[in-house]
Amino acid sequence: MTQVKKTDQYPMKICRSKLEHRSKEEIQKLQQDWDKSMANSKQKGTGYENELVKKLIAAGFKGVKRAWGSDGRSLGQASDVDIVADKIKIQAKRRKTIPKWLSLGNCDAVMFREDRGITFVVMTFDDWVRCLKDAP
C-alpha cells in the first residue's frame, strides 16, 4: 500500500493521473484533506470580508454590503465583487505574505502596471479613505 504524504500545500486540483494507482482509502483521505484545507481558506476569506465591512462602516461608508458566498452576482454585480460600499466595488484578497515590492516603505503609495497595461495603486486603508473623503 502506498503511503500518502501529508503536506501543508495541496495542488490546485487533484489530477486523475495521480490517483490511478492509489487505493480507495488513499483517494478518500486525499479528498478529505483537500476539502478541509479549502474550508479553512474559505473561512479566512470570509472573515477578512467581514472585517472590511466593519472597517468601511466605521469609516463612514453608507450602504455597505457583502456578497453572499463571495459572489457578486448575489448583489447584481460581476462574480468577482465581494463588497459594495457607496457604489464602490471591492474585491477582498487576504494573503499570508505580500510581495516585498508591494511594500510601501517610506512612501504613501506604490503604483505599478504590466507592460502596456493599466496603472494600479497600493496604499493603506486609512490613506484610501482619506483620499475618497477629500475628493470633490
Residue-range domain boundaries for the chain: 1-92, 97-136
Higher per-residue confidence, 71 vs 85: 85
Contact yes or no for 109/123 (Cβ under 8 A): yes
pLDDT at 9 exceeding the cut of 70: no
What b/e readout covers 93-121, taking b as 16+ CB neighbours within 10 angstroms?
eeeeeeeeeeeeeeeeeeeeeeeeeeeee
pLDDT at 7 exceeding the cut of 80: no
pLDDT per residue as tens digits for the range 22-58: 787 777 777 777 666 666 777 778 888 999 999 999 9
Task: Give strand pairing partners of 84.
Answer: 65, 89
Q: Give CA–CA dist 74/35, Å, rounded.
A: 24
Higher per-residue confidence, 2 vs 64: 64
